[in-house]
Amino acid sequence: MKKYNVCIVGAGAVGKEMIRLLRKRNFPAESIVILARSAREERIDGETYQVKETTAEAFDGMDFAFFAGTEGAKGASQTWGWIAAEKGCVVIDNGDDFRMDDRVPLVIPEINPEALKDHKGLIANPNCSTIIALMALGPLHKAFGIKHVVASTYQAVSGSGAGAIRELEEQARAWTAGVEMKAEAYPYPIAFNVLAQIGGAQDGHPSEELKMGRETHKILADDSIRVSCTCVRVPVFNSHSEALHVSFEKPVTPEAAREVLEKADGVELADDIDNAVFPMPMDANGKEEVLVGRIRKDQGFDNGLSLFVAGDNLWKGAALNAIQIAEKLIEMNG
């Protein structure tokens, strides 16, 4: 089997998960190099990695470059993405800088792998909440045709990076000790609270909510789908959950939807309300599949369904999806 030289740009929460998943999935890597703003050592699962400074020359001889910035982390792919691509390296970017760029495919391998054909060297990972929603909605759209989605997300703090994870831990300890909870990662404490804004305001909407609609249109290649979205940060360490209310062009029943989703790659049904089985972030954490359940008729739509999903935002919502893009390219190129 051919082996590939791989680099990961960024050693934060997503970058560390990329290292773990490359090893877990036995990715055919000849070498794995970590790049960051400055050279240093990083310990990941008991192993020491030498982190190198990111320079143009660092991409020489690389086959894949995974840019591992979390949401809102700007700069790395803007500075180095096209430089790496021009050196013959396939860039897979987890950030949002190029998602809506017409030159750049926006890909979930199970949903729109055809978008990888004729790529120009840079491929974008969708937003974590978009990926987790579309793992369920993509197969249903193909079967029944989606007209309108109303999505409410419950997003874990790991989507904001390692600092937010530490802050939730520290605030929980402070609350237990009866001392002031300090907020730095967010404008207010997140422990025992929910924050109904993710991202800066754009035209009166938080940016995270706008991403869901724009990215859904691009990935499903259908601008007619109406998307209404409310994104909420919740005091969960990892894994996002989402309530989805969907209207379809064709008649659909919960039974027909389950039949479609049972066959969908990357989806695991957790749908037995009589026995209190439903998707939970605790169960989605560390799982490659997105959990889908609470499938029922939606009372507010004709041809409507309601469902609930949960997925690991650092894995399928970020690092795993990026690695699967590389795996799909290897498969397509024989």
Positions marked active-site = 128, 240
- CA torsion 250-255-258-262 (nearest 10°) is -110
Residue 93: strand, helix, or coil: strand
- Cα angle 184, 188, 190 (rounded to 5 degrees) comes to 90
> Which neighbouring-strand residues pair with 269?
292
Task: Kindly give the residue spans of alpha helices, DSSP state H, lying in 73-205.
Answer: 76-86, 128-144, 162-177
> Which one, of 139, 154, 301, lies nearest residue 219 by Cα?
139
Whole-angstrom distance, CA of residue 147 vs CA of residue 162: 37
Whole-angstrom distance, CA of residue 171 vs CA of residue 185: 11
Residue 318: strand, helix, or coil: helix
> Which neighbouring-strand residues pair with 293?
308
The type of residue at 121 is: G
127 DSSP 8-state letter: P
Whole-angstrom distance, CA of residue 178 vs CA of residue 253: 50
